[in-house]
A = this chain, B = another copy of it.
Amino acid sequence: MTKKIEIVPIAFVKNSRKEPTDDNWSEVISEIELASDVPTESLDGIETFSHLHILFHFHKSEKTMNGAGHPRGNTEYPKVGIFVQRKKDRPNHIGLTTVKLLKHTGRVLTVANLDAIDGTPIVDIKPVLKEFLPNDSIKQPDWSSDLMKQYWKK
């Protein structure tokens, strides 16, 4: 059943954050530049959207957690499964973030709120449509709100 799937980078991140760190991502503005074999037309019209979903590869992560653990190793948080966390050391090492598109110039997008370090390979870019956002209220446990307190702060 478990067939391998091969994917390739379609773009790369350029920004000032060279090493993985947990918090304060809002201060980072990133450029996303298309890989050399991807046509410029693949971004045509992207400036008609305000937000994008960016799927990227946690390329510096060399560990994989498969089962359950305390988020950030914090024993004050409950032990939960890897698919109940957004931790980078996960099966397939794929990250997903909603970013704000600030500028589109040719093969480069300038975005805010991308929590990926310099050099990160991007594997997909999708426009955010209202119709793909949750249409009812979000329930999440207290530990997750606590963990996020410093995440976006400058």
Give complex CA distance A85, B130 in Å. 13
Nearest-CB residue, chain B, relative to A134: B51
Nearest-CB residue, chain B, relative to A65: B42
- B-side contacts of A136, CB under 8 Å: 50, 100
- Do A78 and B45 touch (CB < 8 A)? yes
- B-side contacts of A43, CB under 8 Å: 81, 83-84
A150: min CB distance to chain B, Å:
11
Task: Pick the residue among B5, B46, B53, B79 that contacts A44 (CB under 8 A).
Answer: B79
Nearest-CB residue, chain B, relative to A7: B92
Sorted nearest first, the 4 A-B pairs with minimum C-beta distance are A50-B139, A45-B80, A83-B125, A41-B67
- Identify the A interface with B (CB < 8 A): 1-10, 12, 35-39, 41-46, 48-53, 55, 57, 66-68, 78-86, 90-92, 94, 96-98, 100, 121, 123-134, 136-141, 144-145, 148, 151-152
